Amino acid sequence: MNAKNDRLNIPKRYRTTAVYILLLIALASVWSFALFTPLNSALEEREERHFLATAQTASLVVENIADPEPALDRLARDTGLRISLVDSTGQVLIDTAGKDIRDIPNSRDPEILSALQGRIGLDRRAEVDADMEVLHVAVPVSHEGETAALRVSETHDEITAILASAQNFGLFLLAAVIVSTVILVIRLTQHLKEPLERLTLATKDISAGNLSVSVRSEDAELAPLSEALAELKEYMKIRFGELQSERQNLRIVLDGLADAVFLLEGEIITFANSAAGRIFRTPVAGWAGQSIASTPLPTSVVSAVLSTVTSATKEHSVTECGPDASGAILKVSVTPLQRIGEPDRTLVVISDITERVRTERLRRDFVANASHELKTPVATMQLLAETTRDAAKDNDIDQALAFAAQIADESRRLGRLVTELLNLSRLESTPAPDTVTDIRQAASNAFAGHRVTAAQKGLTLEIDDAKVRDEDLYVNADPTDLAIIFDNLLDNAVNYTIEGGVKVILEADNANVRISFIDSGIGIPQEDIPRIFERFYRVDRARSRATGSTGLGLSLVRNVVERSKGSLEVISELGKGSTFVVILPRVN
């Protein structure tokens, strides 16, 4: 086990070097085998041809010389080979080895048998008296009228010596190459060690997100790698900057939404935008990492979210919650974000729809009230028209004229109602025009239209501009809008004042113009003051109908003032009169 651990603890660069060396040795071994095997075969083939040529030469000597032994001895000495002549019975007749032929047994060797049969015989074998392999080549020869065998023999020591010399030189050369290669690999490894370690550390820093790390430009072989790593770092820095910018932009967009946005992983909040703090009136900075159930969100909202988060179907849901203790009505939209291989995320969008619900309710009430207000004069006119027709049939001219007068009154009331509905629609659907209007001129025009009615009731109308007599009074409002303010407030003041009069006081400072409508009329009960600007709201319905009021006048006044970025105040006491104060921004 320890040996195995020691092996595993060898530095990687040394293991790599060892692998290269072993691979080189294996390749060298293959090379040696591939080189020396053909060389050995070639030498043996060359030796066989040499022996055969010598044997054929010796056969000519035997066939052409009566006493061939001396010639064969010289040939043997010249070639260094052993030459033997064997007759058909295997008896050795001549042997240049210097042995007594009587001591040489009859030869039954394979090459002799082949030669006696008229073929060339060749055999390699280890001889008993030789310490190595011996090559024998025999050829048929005619001697004294019979077929004999002439054999040439010699040990394999020359080829062996040549091969040994070649192998020794090859092994020496191979060893020199291996040693040189090992030294070169080690020096190259040492040369590349420090640059590779620097590049490795830089790569680790970059992968960890440290894009400020410096990538040194390396020399020679590692230059392309260091340049590529430096380019990668710069690309990642640019891309990381783009991602940071996109993230910041997304955060800005989400924080700019009017709706509260939460991102959950399971039941844990991972993101909450600024609108969540505004809607729920609590800081959300510490909400990240908390369970949604532990936050101060309303119980109904938490239940709506968890019902979808914990549901097995994970389907989109929309729930309306409230009103809560503060009267707020919330719409909770829960959208599961499911991606394979990622944790379950949920997008929660909470909208404060209190104002929308209130507006919708007001719209429904307005439509119902407007329908009722329009239906009443129309029905009255229809009834009066039928009655007038009946009176005319009965020739009751006075009654018919009376009913016709009532029809005219109702038609005027209906026309006024339609006009005020159109004005209300215009004020709520179009932006305020950039028009400058003189307050004094608007007041003068309105007074001219109400003096006759006031005089008929014995009331006085008065404009008091003593505090601003020498000043220009201009406001940024449309003349038609100012006429709505003056006409409706003067009309109410005259209609609900029995005796006394109506005074309009004009005041101003550098920023605003203040217009006070003061009457000595019947006043308004305190409990009704908060509602008098609602559409079709009447404090005294019977009296309002008698005066021809539509119930829209004060609502129109409020819309004009708000459209002009002004304010409106009411001071009233039952039985002592009322004061309406309109404050509009002044234009110098």
Highest average pLDDT, of 17-26, 71-80, 259-268, 547-556, comes from: 259-268
Structure-token match 């028209």, residue found: 385
Q: Is 581 helix (H, G, I), strand (E, B) or coil?
A: strand
Predicted pLDDT at 490: 92
d(CA 179, CA 166): 20
Q: Which of 335, 318, 311 is nearest to 263 (CA)?
A: 335
DSSP state of 461: E
**52-75 per-position pLDDT tens digit:** 888 888 888 888 888 888 888 888
Residue 521 has pLDDT above 50, yes or no: yes
Confidence of residue 219 (pLDDT cuts 50, 70, 90): low
Considering only residues 583 and 540, tell me which one the structure prediction assigns the higher pLDDT.
583
Q: What are the strands of the beta sheet with 268-272, ordered from one edge?
A: 268-272, 260-265, 345-352, 330-337, 317-321
pLDDT surpassing 90 at residue 512: yes
Report the b/e string of 84-97 with b at 16+ CB within 10 A.
Answer: bbbbeeeebbbbbe
Summary mean pLDDT of the chain = 80
Q: What is the model's pLDDT at position 100?
A: 61
Give, for 412, the enclosing helix (H) or strand (E).
helix 397-429
Which range has the worst mean pLDDT, 282-296, 367-381, 493-507, 546-560? Answer: 367-381
| Residue 31: pLDDT band with limits 50, 70, 90 | low
Is pLDDT of 32 > 70? no
For residue 583, give the DSSP letter. E
The CATH 3.30.565.10 domain(s) of the chain lie at 436-585
Residue 17 pLDDT > 90: no
**Gyration radius from the chain CA atoms:** 63
List the structure tokens of 74. 């010289």
Q: Which residue has the higher pLDDT, 392 or 369?
A: 392
pLDDT grade, residue 514 (50/70/90)?
very high
| E strand spans, 477-528 | 501-508, 512-519
pLDDT at position 506 is: 94
**490: helix, coil or strand?**
helix
Within the chain, which residue ranges are assigned CATH 3.30.450.20? Answer: 14-155, 257-352
Q: Where are the alpha helices (DSSP H) in 10-156?
A: 12-64, 69-79, 110-116
For residue 84, pLDDT over 90 is answered with: no
How far does CA 128 lie from the centroid of its chain? 89
Where residue 378 falls among pLDDT bands split at 50, 70, 90? confident
pLDDT tens digits, one per residue of 312-370: 777 888 988 877 777 788 899 999 987 766 778 899 998 888 888 887 776 776 666 66
The pLDDT score that the predictor gives to residue 568 is 93
Q: How confident is the model at residue 131 (pLDDT cuts 50, 70, 90)?
A: low
**Has residue 1 got a pLDDT over 50?**
no
Residue from 192, 189, 256, 239 nearest 220 by CA? 192
Q: What is the predicted pLDDT for the residue at 442?
A: 92
Residue 106 pLDDT > 70, yes or no? Answer: no
Angle at 112 between CA 106 and CA 114, to 5 degrees: 145
Please, which contacts does 56-61 make with residues 24 or more away whose CB atoms are closer than 8 Å?
56/139, 58/83, 58/141, 58/150, 58/152, 59/139, 59/140, 59/141, 59/150
Which CATH number is correct for 357-429, 3.40.50.2300, 3.40.1160.10, 3.90.120.10, 1.10.287.130? Answer: 1.10.287.130
Domain 257-352 fold: Beta-Lactamase (3.30.450)
Query: Stretch 20-43: mean pLDDT, rounded?
Result: 70
The two structure tokens encoding residue 515 = 């217009």
- The H-or-E segment that residue 512 falls in is strand 512-519
Separation of alpha carbons 335 and 308, rounded Å: 8
Q: Is 455 in a helix, a strand, or coil?
A: helix
**CATH code of the region 436-585:** 3.30.565.10
Strands of 353-454 (E only): list them.
436-438
Highest mean pLDDT among 149-158, 348-357, 551-560: 348-357
**In this structure, what token pair is assigned to residue 474?**
């201009």
Omega before 110 within 30 of 0, i.e. cis: no
Q: Where are the beta strands (DSSP E) in 118-275?
A: 121-126, 133-143, 146-155, 260-265, 268-272
| pLDDT above 70 (res 10) | no
Say what the pLDDT of residue 548 is: 52
Q: Of the segments 98-102, 149-153, 234-238, which one has the largest average pLDDT value?
A: 149-153
Helix (H, G, I), strand (E, B) or coil at 487: helix
Q: Which residue has the higher pLDDT, 480 or 207?
A: 480
CATH superfamily of 14-155: PAS domain (3.30.450.20)
Residue 4 confidence (pLDDT) above 50: no
Is residue 20 over pLDDT 90? no
In the sheet with 577-585, reading across from the earlier edge strand, the strands are 460-464, 501-508, 512-519, 577-585, 567-573
Answer for the pair 278, 350: CB distance below 8 angstroms, yes or no. Answer: no
Who contacts 148 (Cβ-Cβ below 8 Å, separation ≥6)?
Answer: 62, 85, 86, 87, 88, 93, 116, 140, 141, 142
- Region 283-304: mean pLDDT is 86
Per the structure block, which two tokens stand in for 94?
Answer: 């001549």
Token pair 């707020």 is found at 328
Share above pLDDT 70 across residues of the chain, in percent, rounded to a whole number: 83
